[in-house]
Amino acid sequence: MGAGDGDSNFMVEKKPVQLDSGMISANVYEQHFLASDWDPILSMDNHAMSFDVSAGFSPYIVGVSEQMPNLSFFSSKRHVPSTHLVDNNHQTETNLKWKKRKAVSNEFHKKDGSPESAKSSKEKDEKKGKTSKHSKINTQNADAGKDDYIHVRAKRGQATNSHSLAERVRREKISERMRLLQDLVPGCNKITGKAMMLDEIINYVQSLQRQVEFLSMKLAAVHPEVNFDIEQILSKGILHSEDGNAAATLGFGPGMTTTHSHLHGVIQTDVRMCSMPNSQISPTARIPNAWDHELQNIAPMSFIDSKDLNGDMKVQI
Amino acid sequence: MHNNKCLKENPNPNPNQPLLAYHFIQALTRINLTAHTTTSTKQRSHIIKHAAYVSMAFAAGNKRTWTHAVLLHNRFPLKTRFHRLSGSRRSFIMSLSRNKKTHRHAHLLRSLVPGGHAMEFSSLLMETANYIQYLTAQVRLMQCIVEKFDMHV
């Protein structure tokens, strides 16, 4: 890791840097860019990029006033193959703004722990074929305190204060997540705008919670009349109804009751017979112990022995 | 046919639906075993609602903030104030700008999603997304159960 921490001339904040091939090619891109259009660099604040002169290659230079002596340094970097520049040429013309919105998706995907998705989002912006997990220097305030930093570049004609950059990243993160929520909440495709979307989301969550309450009331009313075997039938029925064969299982039900004597085992074997992958069963096998503990608060009495159940095991339909 | 109501198209299929069903039905049977003679309908509905949330949180796993909040609230019903304390500085700052519309929305959302007071806005949105997924799964499950009871009775 060529972190030029000692090079204090160009460092605003000391942050770890991981330079890899992706950054080098981006650097090349930037050299071409520097030559063609000086404006974006001029319009940018001096943000931290560490500098390793000794390593022979330079990362992004973000600061303005310190850049003048370095132009010559940059021009010496032209030995990087021009094919790369040619690839990016079409993008340079069209994308003079040099927007780098991967900050949003990068951080978003970092939270999910998948570096590959960060790669796919980066390709949009930088048109590079090779990215691995990038940890770049944070250009935001030092209060972030994360280990991985996201490189943010200001758009053309926008404020370049570090605060506003941080604000912009945060806003983009929020809008990205609102778009996700838009897919989840039904009927939100036409609504745009944060306030109305939030209205819809809040209404939806409230209605869902009210539905849970209403259904639990209904269940409480119906519940004592129904027997445990019905639960067993239901567990089969519900799990099969997810696949779409509810009708078949209902006729199947009464045949099952005679073969099971243990309620706990009933549900477990029942569940195993349904079309569920084993990976979902095995964690639940040991969960019942914890589950009993969880449910202590809900059902105050302890779990009744299975012997008591056998007497009650009649199908009351 | 009644079953068709259960099988309406789910736009967000939850991968943990069988797990949810298993936990919830187990909880229901326990409740039926232990409490069906002694409690009134209203009490039982409250217990079932509580069981629904706990089984939902259980099925969702421990990686989410809202599941933490739900399970913690389940174990220690009186210690909700500790959750508020962890975000107290944030809530103080936010109370200053409560009159803005977005902040009102955010405050509402935080009060809806369990454990929402201790998070910043972007992670709150993530938690809401996950919460909505599990809530819809839970609602569908309960609708199926209720409909099957209606058919039998």
Q: Taking CB atoms and an 8 Å cut-off, how many pairs form between chains A and B?
A: 218
pLDDT of residue A210: 92
More confident residue, B75 or A107: B75
Cross-strand pairs, A136: A149
Q: Do A226 and B36 touch (CB under 8 A)?
A: no
The residue among B95, B68, B94 whose CA lies nearest residue B82 is B68
Q: For this complex, say whether ipTM is above 0.85.
A: no
The residue among B19, B11, B2 whose CA lies nearest residue B141 is B19
The C-alpha torsion from A261 through A263 and A267 to A269, rounded to 10°, is -30
Per mean pLDDT, which of A37-51, A60-74, A182-196, B70-84 is the most reliable?
A182-196
Model confidence at B88, pLDDT cuts 50, 70, 90, reads low
Which percentage of chain A shows pLDDT scores above 70?
Answer: 23
- Residue A8 and residue A11: Cα distance in Å, rounded? 5
Q: Say how many CA atoms lie within 13 Å of A3 toward its Cβ.
A: 12
B60 at interface of A, judged by CB pairs closer than 8 A: no
Model confidence at A178, pLDDT cuts 50, 70, 90, reads confident
CA A128-A129-A132 angle, 5° bins: 95
The residue among A232, A130, A273 whose CA lies nearest residue B26 is A232
Phi, then psi, of A136 in degrees rounded to 5: -110, 175
Statement: residue A144 has pLDDT above 50: no
Instruction: Give A94→chain B minimum CA distance, Å.
Output: 31
Tokens describing residue B140: 């569908």
The residue among A298, A147, A114 whose CA lies nearest residue A216 is A298
Instruction: Give A231→chain B minimum CA distance, Å.
Output: 7
Statement: residue A302 has pLDDT above 90: no
Q: Do A239 and B112 touch (CB under 8 A)?
A: no
Q: How many CB atoms within 10 Å of residue A148?
A: 17
Tokens describing residue A260: 């099971």
pLDDT of B24-72, one tens digit each? 777 777 777 676 666 677 777 788 888 888 888 888 777 777 777 777 7
The beta-carbon neighbor of B48 closest among A184, A201, A219 is: A219
Mutation target among A219, A296, A306 for the B interface, most CBs of B within 10 A = A219
Model confidence at A89, pLDDT cuts 50, 70, 90, reads very low
Q: Do A246 and B141 touch (CB under 8 A)?
A: no
Largest CA distance in chain A: 92
Instruction: Give A47→chain B minimum CA distance, Å.
Output: 24
Place of tokens 């969960």: A287
Q: Do B135 and A217 touch (CB under 8 A)?
A: no
- Residue A101 and residue A146: Cα distance in Å, rounded? 19
pTM, two decimal places: 0.51
Q: Do B146 and A215 touch (CB under 8 A)?
A: yes
B33 at interface of A, judged by CB pairs closer than 8 A: yes
Phi, then psi, of A146 in degrees rounded to 5: -95, 170
Written as one letter, the residue type at B76 is F
pLDDT of A182-229, one tens digit each? 888 888 878 777 888 888 889 999 999 999 888 888 887 776 665 555
Q: Do B135 and A212 touch (CB under 8 A)?
A: yes
Q: Do A177 and B152 touch (CB under 8 A)?
A: no
Q: Do B139 and A300 touch (CB under 8 A)?
A: no
Mutation target among A111, A240, A294 for the B interface, most CBs of B within 10 A = A294
- Residue A271 and residue A315: Cα distance in Å, rounded? 19
